[in-house]
Structure 1
Amino acid sequence: MADFEVAAPTSADAFARLAIELHDAPSVEETVDAVVQFALQALNCMYAGVILSTRGQQPEVAAVTDPVVTDAYGLQISSDNGPLITALRNRTTVLIRDTSTDDRWPEWAAKMTALGIRSVLDVPLATGYSSRATVGVLGLYSAQPDAFTADDEAIAHILARHASVAVASARHEETMTQAVDARKLVGQAMGILMERFDVDADRAFAILKRYSQDTNTKLRDVAQQLIDTRKLPH
């Protein structure tokens, strides 16, 4: 990972180098890790983290710089309530100047105060205007009350925009790679069936598809099992 200069971390040059690093990151995991490490240098925060939205499931904790952030996220994800959840669902930035006095999420705020977190800034990662375009949230944490200035918030929004595009791109690349891998597996499995049962490609694919439907198993997994065991699932 590149070592960003702390002296002027918010310069155009620093963000340009960040954009290059995010573009070059080979996976979603390394993309979000670069984001939180940059946040520690560019913003007045002690801890940072990123959660990513997952279709039909709970948000995923994708990167944290300290276990305390995992605790902060876990409390909200398990209760489905808190500034993080609000930022994710409403596509809105949430600033908590002091967890010891903020009364919007009293139970969560009390636990954060006990953990030594006093200021929180949650910024949504979004690639469009619909709620479906929200890919996650960048969370910034400080042990000092009223730690985040207007400049911090502005920089956090710039960082969030860079992160949003990079995460969406990395996810797309991973999806495409998985799709290519799945096609290769299905092709191999079809070849086994064609050779064993002397059937053509259409019939071999129909057999795989039928087993996928009958066993409620993804076509890719049916193919993988056939390749590994030379048997179709029961």
Structure 2
Amino acid sequence: MEENSRSRPVSTGATTEPSPQPISAKGEDTVEVFARLATEMHDAAGVEETVDAVVQFALQALSCSHAGVALYSRGGQPEVPAVTDPVVAEIYQFQMAGQDGPLVESMRNHTTVLVTDTAAESRWPDWAGKVLGLGVRSVLDVPLTTAQGTHGVLGLYSSEPDAFGPDEEAIAHILARHASVAVATAKHQETLAAAVDARKLVGQAMGILMERYDFDADQAFAVLKRYSQDNNTKLRDVAQQLIDTRRLPH
């Protein structure tokens, strides 16, 4: 059977917001919808809320059956912060466990991967059988990429074969570009927030040591740092334990 799929290089939890209206064929409506998407993603509280907005818009804009976003975690492994239903979560987990499939290829090679019909897919037979058994016939995986690199993949799924043509793929790329910037911004903000929180915790712990042992600031920080190194524990966690128990870890 001739393979009916192709892969092309890249050319370059839930919110409470109302569901977006479907994108029509009129260009003005498309611009308006994506402008609203950009606003909602900008106003999202964090990474999970941002990608959830992306997933919900994907359902409306592309009329797909399912959608999801997989992001790189700190350890370099993909994680799944937002999916529309358990079907997508099962598809993602199957690929992550076997490290094989279009999602893995899209993440690894930073490419858009299109499977026009899982019933005719021969590149990943185990994956194709699994996905076909879940009622999915078409798959489109688009990387979320910025100048700093690839942050993850937007996955689109349809119960119909040949569901993603050139128009749908073009819209998916626009959506992915919006999502890439929004996710990178949300990740950066969360990192900054975590750094500020850690600095506050260390400052409180230093204050406890300075009061209890009459240390100066340098001595108090040196003690925390030594405990952190000796116990192979993050400085933030050492500080948190001291604050919670008023005792340093053993």
Whether these two folds match at TM > 0.5 is yes
Please say if 1:170 is aligned against 2:186.
yes
Please say if 1:114 is aligned against 2:133.
yes
How far the C-alpha of 1:189 sits from its partner, in A, is 0.1
Contact 1:8/1:14 (<8 A) preserved: no
> What is the RMSD computed on CA atoms of the aligned residues?
1.1
Which position in structure 2 is the counterpart of 1:136?
152
1:154 to 170, 192, 203: 170
**Structure 2 matches for 1:1-234, cutoff 5 A?**
1-6=17-22, 8=24, 11-128=30-147, 133-234=149-250
Count of residues paired in the alignment = 231
The CA deviation string for residues 72-125 of structure 1, in whole angstroms up to 9 with x for no partner, is: 100000111110010011110000001111101011001111110110000000
Contact 1:44/1:152 (<8 A) preserved: no
Q: Distance in 2 between matches of 1:66 and 1:80?
A: 22
TM-score after normalising by structure 1: 0.96
Q: Distance in 2 between matches of 1:126 and 1:52?
A: 11
Q: Distance in 2 between matches of 1:218 and 1:231?
A: 16
SS of alignment partner, residue 93 of structure 1:
strand
SS of alignment partner, residue 111 of structure 2:
coil
TM-score after normalising by structure 2: 0.90
Give structure 1 stretches of 5+ with no counterpart.
Answer: none
Q: Could you tell me which amino acid in structure 2 is paired with residue 99 of structure 1?
A: T
Contact 2:23/2:30 (<8 A) preserved: no
Give structure 2 stretches of 5+ with no counterpart.
Answer: 1-16
How far the C-alpha of 1:68 sits from its partner, in A, is 0.4
Q: Distance in 2 between matches of 1:89 and 1:55?
A: 16
How far the C-alpha of 1:2 sits from its partner, in A, is 3.6
The CA deviation string for residues 52-81 of structure 1, in whole angstroms up to 9 with x for no partner, is: 011334200110001000111000001111
Q: Distance in 2 between matches of 1:141 and 1:36?
A: 11
Q: Percent identity?
A: 68
Q: Distance in 1 between matches of 2:60 and 2:95?
A: 26
